[in-house]
Amino acid sequence: MSRIHVNTTINGDAVDYLCEAEDTLLDVLRDQLDLTGSKEGCASGDCGACTVELDGRLVCSCLVLGAEAGGRTVNTIEGMADGDVLHPLQKNFIEKAALQCGICTPGILVAAKNLLDHNPDPSEEEVRYWLAGNLCRCTGYDKIIRAVLDTAAEMRGAA
Binding footprint of other proteins on the chain (CB under 8 A): 20, 22, 27, 30-31, 34-44, 46-47, 49, 76-78, 80-81, 86, 90, 93-97, 99-106, 109, 125, 127-129, 131-146
- Rg of the chain on CA atoms, in Å: 16
Enumerate binding residues for ligand FES (CB under 6 A): 40-43, 45-50, 60, 62, 99-104, 136-139
Residue 55 beta carbon to other proteins: minimum distance, rounded to whole angstroms: 20
Q: How far from each other are the two terminal CA atoms of the chain, in whole angstroms?
A: 52
Q: How are beta strands 73-75 and 4-10 bridged, if at all?
A: parallel
62 interacts with, out of other proteins, ligand FES, none, CB within 5 to 8 A per kind:
ligand FES
Q: Quick one: 73 or 103, whose CB is closer to other proteins?
A: 103
Q: Quick one: 85 or 112, whose CB is closer to ligand FES?
A: 112
Q: Quick one: 95 or 121, whose CB is closer to ligand FES?
A: 95
Going from the C-alpha of 10 to that of each of 47, 131, 138, the distances in angstroms are 22, 23, 30
Single-letter amino acid code for the residue at 51:
T
Strand ranges for the chain from DSSP E: 4-10, 13-19, 51-54, 57-60, 73-75
